[in-house]
Amino acid sequence: MRHTTQDLTRRAAAKAFAAFVAASPLLRGQIDPQRGHDRVPKLDELISALDFEAVAHAKLPRQAYNYTAYGTDGEFTLRRNREAFDWVQLIPGAVSSPTPPQTGLELFKTQLSAPLLISPTAGHLMLHPGGESATHQGATAAANTPLLVSNNASQPIDQIAAAATGPLWFQLYPREDLNATREILDKAQASGCRAIVVTIDQQASEYERELHDRHLTPVSTRRAPARAPLAPSNPYRIRDRRLWYTWKYFDQIREMVKVPMLAKGILTAEDAKLCLEHGLDGVYVSNHGGRSIDYGPSTLEVLPEIADAVAGRVPVLFDSGIRRGSDILKALALGATAVCVGRVPRWGLAAYGPLGVQRVLEILQAELVQAMAATGRPTLASVNRSLVRTDFS
């Protein structure tokens, strides 16, 4: 029916509008707390880190959400990273600890209150206007959790460093030009970064969700995920700017790095040994959160062979799939010195800014304490393989 001004009285219009509002799912969402997708829950309503993903998903443009979520190709490894934690079971002890569990440790001469750090991830401005500075503030508020600043951060390292006081590390993508490498490393170290993590994987990855998203309007931040045009001109049409990597690079840049240096992306015992041969100060087990090679192994299933190869000579860091305190405990039991989380603080930042980063890290820290208490392990030193039963195939 088409209304004209003559037959639509104020009263009829108000009545029609009231009926429209009453029937609207938006109103029902406000009334019914079970319909959480129609309102943003308060920070203290969220129980686990996984709860933050739904809020981040609701708040972010699709590309920014997908950039955080996706894995390589068919995302087999992305899924396997999570499945692998189901293949490890915690074995509780019978004797209770006389004191609350202590999660503190010293890592590269920095005292940490928990074996938890923030993995380097790119472009936090696409998640929140505060960018990496906001992440640094949230991390610092969460008991000085170290933040590994990405080489592809959306803010300059000195700006991020000035935003809060918690420890920073720096992640480097190798540059074939050694002078360019030196410039980046000098700046990071001048800003107070206490360790350098060199990412050696993700040499030629493609993300199908991103390819599907490429026609959407770009996310309006200073650093949306920028992509080269499709189909590079080499014979196999693959991205080739990272194919030059060799172990020699670590020898070439060693004198540029005055702080501990680690290789990130180790998935085999053989490469862990090569890290030691090339004088690296730590081994970082990672498959880039399922964003390097698809059908690569989950990091948890290769952690034991790498820990065996390293044999306690240097710290072993671990990431790709940690979502809960029990996940942290499983990784520590299988040989990790400390773990890193990448997507988890991104969800926190996107959902609630610095407070979200702080809260989601505190949830993981508290869950780790609970898991240690429940299994009867009073300190990190008492966490070992006897704590778990593994069923890797």
DSSP 221: S
Which residue of 244, 311, 384, 385 would you call a contact of another protein, by CB under 8 A? Answer: 244
State in angstroms the smallest separation of the CB of 38 from another protein: 33
Query: Does the footprint of another protein cover residue 281 (CB under 8 A)?
Result: no
Interface stretch with another protein, choices 51-59, 138-146, 196-204, 217-225 (CB under 8 A): 196-204
Q: H or E segment at 168?
A: strand 168-172
Within 80-99, the residues that bind another protein by CB under 8 A are: 80
Within 197-216, the residues that bind another protein by CB under 8 A are: 200-206, 208, 211-212
Is the Cβ of residue 117 or residue 200 nearer to another protein in the bound state?
200
Which residue of 14, 16, 162, 238 would you call a contact of another protein, by CB under 8 A? Answer: 238
| Distance, CA of 67 to CA of 59 (rounded, Å) | 14
Is the Cβ of residue 84 or residue 329 nearer to another protein in the bound state?
84
Question: Could you tell me which of 344, 294, 307, 338 has the C-alpha nearest to residue 322?
Answer: 344
CA 231, 205, 150 angle in degrees (round to 5)? 120
Query: Does the footprint of another protein cover residue 267 (CB under 8 A)?
Result: yes
Interface stretch with another protein, choices 8-16, 131-139, 220-228, 245-253 (CB under 8 A): 245-253
Is the Cβ of residue 160 or residue 302 nearer to another protein in the bound state?
302
Interface stretch with another protein, choices 27-35, 180-188, 241-249, 329-337 (CB under 8 A): 241-249
Q: H or E segment at 284?
A: strand 282-285
Query: Does the footprint of another protein cover residue 16 (CB under 8 A)?
Result: no
State in angstroms the smallest separation of the CB of 79 from another protein: 10
Q: Is 215 a catalytic residue?
A: no
Which residue of 295, 308, 384, 385 would you call a contact of another protein, by CB under 8 A? Answer: 295
Query: Does the footprint of another protein cover residue 74 (CB under 8 A)?
Result: yes
- Does residue 114 contact residue 368 with C-beta atoms inside 8 Å? yes
Which residue of 120, 131, 167, 297 would you call a contact of another protein, by CB under 8 A? Answer: 297
Which residue of 4, 5, 99, 246 would you call a contact of another protein, by CB under 8 A? Answer: 246
Token representation of residue 14: 């108000």
State in angstroms the smallest separation of the CB of 121 from another protein: 20
Query: Does the footprint of another protein cover residue 233 (CB under 8 A)?
Result: no
Torsion of CA 7, 9, 11, 13, to 10 degrees: 80
| Distance, CA of 367 to CA of 390 (rounded, Å) | 21
Question: Could you tell me which of 156, 117, 133, 254 has the C-alpha nearest to residue 198?
Answer: 254
Handedness of CA 180, 185, 190, 193 (dihedral sign): positive
Token representation of residue 29: 């969402």
The number of beta carbons lying within 10 Å of the beta carbon of residue 389 is: 11
**How many Cα neighbours within 13 Å face the side chain of 305?**
13
**With 0-12 CB in 10 A as exposed, 13-18 as middle and 19+ as buried, what is 181?**
buried
| Distance, CA of 296 to CA of 205 (rounded, Å) | 12
Query: Does the footprint of another protein cover residue 237 (CB under 8 A)?
Result: yes
Return the exposure string of 137-159: e unless at least 16 CB atoms fall within 10 Å of the residue's CB, then b: bbbbbbbbbbbbbbbebbbebee
State in angstroms the smallest separation of the CB of 246 from another protein: 5
Query: Does the footprint of another protein cover residue 227 (CB under 8 A)?
Result: no
What mask of x and - would describe binding to another protein in positions 359 to 388, judged by CB under 8 A? ------------------------------
The answer for residues whose C-beta is within 8 angstroms of residue 247's C-beta and 6 or more apart is 274, 278
Which residue of 2, 34, 236, 381 would you call a contact of another protein, by CB under 8 A? Answer: 236
Residue type, 185: L
CA 153, 193, 324 angle in degrees (round to 5)? 70
Which residue of 266, 344, 368, 388 would you call a contact of another protein, by CB under 8 A? Answer: 266
Interface stretch with another protein, choices 219-227, 262-270, 350-358, 378-386 (CB under 8 A): 262-270
Catalytic residues: 288
Positions touching another protein (CB under 8 A) are 73-74, 76-77, 80, 200-206, 208, 211-212, 230, 234-238, 240, 243-247, 249, 263, 265-268, 270-271, 274, 292-297, 393
